[in-house]
């Protein structure tokens, strides 16, 4: 069954809310007609949905330019994921990810990150995928310059430890992202899996330390995206990316994670969610060790 809706116009679906973004104060795009379709059966089967051209070229260029300007003098204390284990020769030590930029209204990138994380075009899509209202719990700007290692296959639920439901990733391509520059890879059909306890990742290829093996009968697939496309995937989906082997193509992405409003607990790092009306909420810390005995220290930014 296909659920479809016109953002500005007549909704054609029960569960996809039509909203007008034309005058919405939160919108980056002042006048636009956006049409998107969600094949909910495909989403439930595979665990992911691709929204093509959800953001305009102008919008992603602004996010790119603001983030690059913020990073022009190197990593930013309190914002960038400055890691001691990065070799200075590693392109990631020059361009580490910016974590939770929406929490830094004092920084250049703070305001645009908050607005994009809570962009009104995302809300009805997330609501359809969750089957209830979404809360935003994380934002991240990922630069992935040429030569950068990848992020090994993993499941977001391992880190976010959302109970009782699942989180949802929203991966907005700022540049075209494909096999040539370390684009996204996912394992269709893994969206219904429990959390699998990870093995050790190969540090030559990946900057992260966890690796989840592809289960028998499933296979990983690259998802090529154009700038402005958005990949949504639930927290069970095994996904990641390989190194950026291009000579000169950054693979930038703005990534957010969302949880259902009914979430009763999640990892400490993500525990101050925002609803799409801009209100801040609080969710209790995940208790216990998680299915893999994950300490909070590991269940942190990922």
Ligand X SMILES: O=C(O)CCC(=O)C(=O)O
Q: Specify the stretch interacting with ligand X by CB under 6 A; choose among 82-90, 192-200, 234-242, 291-299.
A: 234-242
> Can residue 255 be called a binding residue for ligand X (CB under 6 A)?
yes
Best CA proximity match to 48, nearest among 265, 225, 250, 272: 225
Q: Is 142 in the site for ligand X (CB under 6 A)?
A: yes
Q: What are phi and psi of 260, to 5 degrees?
A: -70, 145
Which span (61-69, 82-90, 189-197, 233-241) binds ligand X, by CB under 6 A? 233-241
- DSSP assignments along 198-210, one per residue: PEE--TTTBSSSE
Helix (H), strand (E) at residue 184: strand 184-186
Q: Which stretch binds ligand X (CB under 6 A): 38-46, 63-71, 189-197, 239-247?
A: 239-247
Tokens for 160? 């976010």
Does residue 241 bind ligand X (CB under 6 A)? yes
CA-wise closest residue to 253 among 179, 189, 135, 171: 171
298 binds ligand X (CB under 6 A): no
Binding mask 152-171 for ligand X (x = CB under 6 A): ----x------------x--
Q: State yes or no: residue 151 binds ligand X (CB under 6 A).
A: yes
Q: Judged by CB, which is closer to ligand X: 127, or 239?
A: 239
198 binds ligand X (CB under 6 A): no
Q: What is the total count of residues that contact ligand X (CB under 6 A)?
A: 9
Residue 88: CB minimum distance to ligand X, A: 22
Q: How far apart are CA 281 and CA 261, in angstroms?
A: 10
Cβ proximity to ligand X: between 125 and 238 the closer is 238
Single residue of 100, 127, 239, 249 touching ligand X by CB under 6 A: 239
Distance CA 158, CA 296 (A): 11
Helices (H) and strands (E) in the chain, counts: 6, 16
């Amino acid at each position: 069954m296909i659920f479809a809706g016109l953002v500005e116009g007549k909704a054609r679906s029960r569960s996809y809310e039509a909203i007008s973004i034309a005058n919405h104060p939160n919108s980056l795009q002042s006048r636009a007609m956006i049409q998107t379709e969600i094949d909910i059966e495909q989403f439930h089967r595979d665990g992911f949905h691709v929204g093509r051209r959800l953001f305009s070229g102008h919008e992603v260029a602004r996010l790119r330019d603001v983030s690059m300007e913020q990073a022009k003098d190197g990593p930013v204390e309190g914002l960038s994921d400055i890691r001691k284990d990065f070799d200075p020769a590693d392109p990631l030590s020059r361009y580490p990810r910016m974590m939770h930029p929406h929490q830094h209204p004092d920084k250049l990138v703070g305001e645009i990150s908050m607005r994009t994380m809570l962009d009104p075009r995302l809300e009805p899509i997330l609501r359809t995928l969750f089957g209830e209202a979404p809360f935003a719990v994380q934002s991240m700007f990922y630069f992935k310059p040429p030569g950068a290692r990848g992020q090994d296959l993993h499941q977001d639920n391992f880190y976010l430890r959302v109970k009782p439901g699942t989180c949802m990733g929203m991966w907005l391509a700022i540049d075209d992202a494909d096999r040539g520059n370390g684009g996204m890879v996912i394992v269709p059909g893994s969206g219904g899996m429990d959390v699998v306890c990870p093995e050790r990742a190969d540090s030559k290829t990946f900057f992260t330390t966890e690796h989840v093996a592809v289960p028998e009968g499933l296979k990983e697939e690259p998802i090529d995206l154009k700038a402005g496309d958005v990949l949504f995937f639930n927290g069970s989906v095994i996904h990641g990316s390989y190194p950026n082997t291009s000579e000169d193509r950054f693979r930038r992405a703005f990534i957010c994670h969302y949880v259902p409003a009914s979430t009763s607990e999640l990892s400490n790092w993500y525990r101050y969610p925002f609803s799409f009306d801009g209100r801040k909420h609080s969710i209790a810390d995940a208790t216990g060790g998680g299915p893999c005995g994950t300490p909070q220290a590991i269940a942190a930014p990922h």
